[in-house]
C-alpha cells in the first residue's frame, strides 16, 4: 500500500479531501463501536495510519467507547505519535481503570521525541486518584515540578483532588499546601478541597472552607450536606438545605438523597413528605425520570420514621428495583417489628423470574434481624447457613444477629458457643445480646463466665455498655453485692455510660431529650405528664422494670 507521501502531486488535493472526509465521519457520524471499526478500516485502506490528527480523534473515540484493545491496536502501529496521540492512549487506560499502565506510558513517553503537556499530566493524575495509586501519583507530581507545570491551574487542581482522594490525613495536608499556593482557584478545586476535609472527618474545617468559598455551586452544597449527614450532624445538614432554599439555589436529586438520609436519622417526617411530594411533581409535571437511589432514600426515610406503609407504596411504585431497594424494604419491615412481612419480601425477591438482583450481606443482615424479632430460630439458622453456601462471608453484625436470636429464645449455651467460635473478636453488640439474654432468663452463672471472658480485654471507651448490662443481670437476681462490685469497677476504670436520648417532632420543629435532662423550660410540665401516663399504665397492669434504670455515670 502506498503512503500519501509517495502519491503523485496531482493526487494530493484528492488525498486532503479524503482526510477531511474521514475526520468529518469521526467527528459527527461515529456513534457505535461498529461504526468506529468501519471508519478505522477506511483509514487503513486510504493509507492514513500515520496521520496524527486523524489518529487523535480515532483514539479519543476508543476511549469514549471504553474499547481499550482497539485503542492499543491503533497506537502500536503509530511510528511517531504526537503528544496529542500519546495523551489519548494514556487517557484510554486511565478511564478503563488501568491507571498503573497510564503511569507506565507516561514514563515511556519520556524517552520519545515529544514531551508531555498539561493534558498528559491531568489524565495520569486523575487516573492515579481513581485507582488510589499514592506512590505513583507522588512520582508524577515530581515530574510536574520538573517539567514546570506546577503553575498550570488545571494540573494543580488535579493534584489537589489526587491527594484528597488517595493520601488520607497526610494527603489532605499536602492538598492544603497546594491549595494555599494556588493563585487562581476554580470552583472544582474548592469542591475537591472541601471533599478532602470531609473525607478526613474534619467537619469543622470543611465548614470553614465552605464559608470562605468565593462561589458555591450545587456540588458544594450537596458535598457539605452529605458530610454533615455522614458524620452525625443531621440538624446542621437540614439547616444547610434550608439555607440553600432560602438563597434560591436549585438542588438536584443527589442533594435530596443526602437530605433524606438526615431526615431518616432525625425522624423529620414532615420534610421527608415534602421531598416526596416534590419527587411526585418531577414525575407528573416535569416528566423527569426519578433516580432509583432517590426512591431508595424515600423508602429508608419512611421506614425509619415508622411509616412502613408509605415506604411500601414507594417500593411498589418503582419500575426498576436494585438490591438496595429490596434490602431497604426488608430492613425497614424488620426494624419496625414486621418480621413476617420482611421475610415475605425476601421470598418475593428470590422467586422473581429473570431477576438479576442477588442478595448481599446487607440483605441477609435484614433477614436475620427479621428472624430475631419474630423468634424464628430454625429459619435464622437456615439463612445463616445459606450465606456460607452463597459464598457470603458472615460479618460480626451477622454473628450479632444470630447471638441475639438465640439469646432471645433462651438458647444461651448455643449462643455462647457461637460467640466463642467467631473468627473475629466480639464487639459490644455481640456481648450485649448475650448479656441481654442472661438478664431475661436470669442466668447469672453464664453472665459471670461472660464477664471473665471479656474483662481482660475491656476497652474503657466501650466498657460501660458491657458492665451496665452485667450489673442489670445481677440486679435482676437481687445479688446486690455483685452489683456494687461491678459499679465499683466502672468507677475504677472511669467508664461513662452515655445517657439515652430521643427526638420528637412537633409542628415542624425537632426537639431532643436526654435521660434526666431538665433543661427544657417546660420540664416540670413534661415530667408531670409522664407521671400521669405511668399511673394510667399501672392501672393497665404495667409493671416497670427498674433493674435497667440504673443511673448513668456523670
How far is residue 128's CA from residue 165's CA, in Å, rounded to a whole number?
A: 9
- Long-range contacts at 129-132 (CB < 8 A, ≥ 24 apart): 129/158, 129/161, 129/162, 129/165, 129/166, 130/94, 130/97, 130/99, 130/165, 131/97, 131/99, 131/100, 132/165, 132/166
Determine the Cα–Cα distance for residues 216 and 224; give it in Å rounded to an integer: 11
Per-residue pLDDT tens digits of the chain, which is 554 residues long = 334 444 454 455 566 666 666 666 666 666 776 776 776 676 776 666 677 677 777 777 777 777 778 777 778 787 888 888 888 888 888 888 788 888 898 988 888 888 888 888 888 988 888 888 888 888 889 988 888 887 787 888 888 888 888 767 777 788 778 877 776 778 888 888 888 888 878 888 889 889 988 889 999 999 999 999 999 899 999 999 999 999 999 899 999 999 999 999 988 999 999 999 999 988 787 788 899 999 999 999 999 999 999 999 999 999 899 999 999 999 999 988 899 999 999 999 988 865 678 899 999 999 999 999 888 999 999 999 999 889 899 999 999 999 999 999 999 999 999 998 999 888 878 888 888 888 888 888 888 777 766 555 556 555 666 677 777 777 777 778 777 877 777 776 666 556 666 766 666 666 677 766 777 777 788 888 888 888 888 777 666 554 444 444 43
Torsion angle, alpha carbons of 63, 67, 69, 71, to 10: -30
Q: Under a CB-based contact definition with an 8 Å cutoff, are residues 294 and 279 in contact?
A: yes
CB 40 within 8 A of CB 75: no
Beta-carbon count within 10 A of 401 CB:
29
pTM: 0.73
Handedness of CA 464, 470, 473, 479 (dihedral sign): negative
Sign of CA dihedral 261, 263, 264, 265: positive
Task: State the DSSP H helix or E strand holding residue 510, giving kind and residue range, or none if neither.
Answer: strand 509-514
Sign of the alpha-carbon dihedral angle for 442, 445, 448, 453: negative
d(CA 447, CA 434): 8
CB 346 within 8 A of CB 330: yes
DSSP code for 455: H
24: part of which helix (H) or strand (E)? helix 12-28
Number of other CB atoms surrounding residue 443 within 10 Å? 23
d(CA 265, CA 232): 8
Provide the pLDDT for residue 456.
Answer: 55
* CATH 1.25.40 for the 395-554 domain, yes or no: yes
User: Burial, 195: exposed, middle or buried (Cβ in 10 Å; 0-12, 13-18, 19+)?
Assistant: buried
Q: What single string gives the DSSP state of each residue in 228-290?
A: HHHTT-HHHHHHHHHHHHHTTPPP-HHHHHHHHHHHHHHT-HHHHHHHHHHHHHHHHTS-PPP
Helix 134-147 and helix 153-166, axial crossing angle in degrees, nearest 10: 160
> Within the chain, what is the greatest distance between any pair of CA atoms?
110
State which CATH number among 1.25.40, 2.60.40, 2.40.70, 1.10.287 fits the domain covering 216-320: 1.25.40
- Position 157 scores a pLDDT of 82
Grid cell 493509507 is found at: 47
The C-alpha torsion from 460 through 464 and 468 to 474, rounded to 10°, is 0
Cα dihedral value 62, 65, 70, 75, nearest 10 = 20
Spatial neighbors of 542 by CB under 8 A, at least 6 apart, are none
Query: Is 23:55 a contact under the CB 8 Å cutoff?
Result: no
Q: Are 267 and 285 in contact (CB under 8 A)?
A: no
Q: What is each CA distance from 69 to 5, 42, 75, 120, 402, in whole angstroms?
A: 29, 19, 10, 20, 48
472/467 Cα distance (integer angstroms): 8
Report d(CA 477, CA 189) in Å as an integer: 62
Q: How far apart are CA 260 and CA 291, in angstroms?
A: 14
CATH 1.25.40.10 maps onto the chain at 1-150
pLDDT of residue 345: 95
Cell numbers describing residue 465: 455498655
Residue 313 to residue 296: CA distance in whole angstroms: 12
- Residue-level pLDDT at 40: 67
Per the structure block, which three cell numbers stand in for 37?
A: 471499526
Looking at 1.20.210.10, 3.40.50.800, 3.30.1130.10, 1.25.40.10, the CATH number of the domain 1-150 comes to: 1.25.40.10
Per the CB < 8 A criterion, the answer to whether 512 and 501 are in contact is yes
Give residue 485's pLDDT: 78
Amino acid at each position: 500500500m502506498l503512503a500519501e507521501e509517495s502519491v503523485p502531486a496531482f493526487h494530493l488535493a484528492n488525498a486532503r479531501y479524503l482526510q477531511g472526509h474521514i475526520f468529518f465521519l469521526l467527528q459527527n457520524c461515529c456513534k457505535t463501536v461498529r461504526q468506529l471499526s468501519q471508519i478505522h478500516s477506511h483509514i487503513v485502506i486510504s493509507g492514513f495510519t500515520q496521520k496524527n490528527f486523524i489518529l487523535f480523534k480515532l483514539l479519543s473515540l476508543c476511549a469514549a467507547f471504553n474499547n481499550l484493545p482497539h485503542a492499543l491496536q491503533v497506537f502500536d502501529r503509530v511510528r511517531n505519535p504526537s503528544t496529542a496521540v500519546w495523551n489519548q492512549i494514556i487517557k484510554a487506560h486511565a478511564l478503563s481503570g488501568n491507571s498503573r499502565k497510564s503511569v507506565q506510558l507516561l514514563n515511556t513517553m519520556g524517552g520519545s521525541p515529544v514531551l508531555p503537556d498539561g493534558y498528559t499530566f491531568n489524565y495520569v493524575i486523575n487516573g492515579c486518584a481513581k485507582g488510589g495509586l499514592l506512590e505513583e501519583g507522588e512520582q508524577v507530581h515530581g515530574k510536574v515540578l520538573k517539567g514546570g507545570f506546577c503553575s498550570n491551574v488545571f494540573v494543580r487542581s488535579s493534584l489537589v483532588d489526587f491527594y484528597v482522594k488517595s493520601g488520607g490525613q497526610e494527603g489532605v495536608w499536602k492538598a492544603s499546601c497546594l491549595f494555599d499556593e494556588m493563585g487562581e482557584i476554580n470552583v472544582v478545586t474548592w469542591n475537591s478541597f472541601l471533599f478532602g476535609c470531609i473525607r478526613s472527618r474534619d467537619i469543622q474545617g470543611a465548614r470553614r472552607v465552605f464559608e470562605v468559598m468565593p462561589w458555591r455551586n450545587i456540588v458544594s452544597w450537596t458535598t457539605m450536606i452529605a458530610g454533615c449527614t455522614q458524620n452525625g450532624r443531621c440538624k446542621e445538614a437540614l439547616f444547610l438545605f434550608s439555607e440553600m432554599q432560602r438563597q434560591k439555589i436549585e438542588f438536584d436529586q443527589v442533594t435530596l438523597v443526602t437530605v433524606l438520609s438526615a431526615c431518616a436519622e432525625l425522624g423529620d417526617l414532615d420534610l421527608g413528605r415534602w421531598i416526596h411530594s416534590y419527587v411526585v411533581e418531577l414525575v407528573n409535571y416535569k416528566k423527569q425520570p426519578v433516580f432509583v437511589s432517590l426512591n431508595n432514600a424515600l423508602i429508608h426515610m419512611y421506614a425509619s420514621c415508622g411509616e412502613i406503609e408509605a415506604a411500601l407504596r414507594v417500593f411498589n411504585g418503582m419500575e426498576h428495583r436494585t438490591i438496595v431497594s429490596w434490602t431497604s424494604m426488608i430492613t425497614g419491615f424488620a426494624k419496625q417489628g414486621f418480621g413476617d412481612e420482611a421475610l415475605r419480601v425476601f421470598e418475593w425477591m428470590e422467586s422473581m423470574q429473570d431477576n438479576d438482583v442477588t442478595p448481599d450481606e446487607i440483605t441477609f443482615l435484614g433477614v436475620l434481624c427479621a428472624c430475631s424479632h419474630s423468634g424464628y430460630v430454625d429459619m435464622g439458622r437456615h439463612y445463616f447457613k445459606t450465606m456460607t453456601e452463597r459464598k457470603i462471608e458472615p460479618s460480626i453484625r451477622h454473628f450479632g444477629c444470630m447471638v441475639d436470636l438465640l439469646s432471645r429464645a433462651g438458647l444461651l449455651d448455643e449462643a455462647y458457643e457461637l460467640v466463642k467460635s467467631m473468627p473475629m473478636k466480639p464487639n459490644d453488640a455481640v456481648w450485649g445480646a448475650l448479656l441481654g439474654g442472661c438478664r431475661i432468663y436470669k442466668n447469672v452463672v453464664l453472665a459471670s463466665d461472660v464477664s471473665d471472658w471479656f474483662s481482660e480485654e475491656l476497652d474503657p471507651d466501650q466498657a460501660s455498655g458491657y458492665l451496665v448490662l452485667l450489673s442489670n443481670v445481677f440486679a435482676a437476681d437481687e445479688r446486690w453485692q455483685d452489683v456494687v462490685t461491678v459499679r465499683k469497677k466502672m468507677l475504677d476504670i472511669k467508664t461513662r455510660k452515655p445517657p439515652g436520648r430521643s427526638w420528637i417532632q412537633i409542628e415542624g420543629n425537632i426537639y431532643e431529650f436526654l435521660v434526666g435532662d431538665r433543661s427544657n423550660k417546660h420540664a416540670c410540665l413534661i415530667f408531670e405528664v409522664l407521671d400521669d401516663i405511668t399511673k394510667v399504665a399501672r392501672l393497665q397492669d404495667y409493671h416497670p422494670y427498674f433493674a435497667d434504670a440504673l443511673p448513668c455515670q456523670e
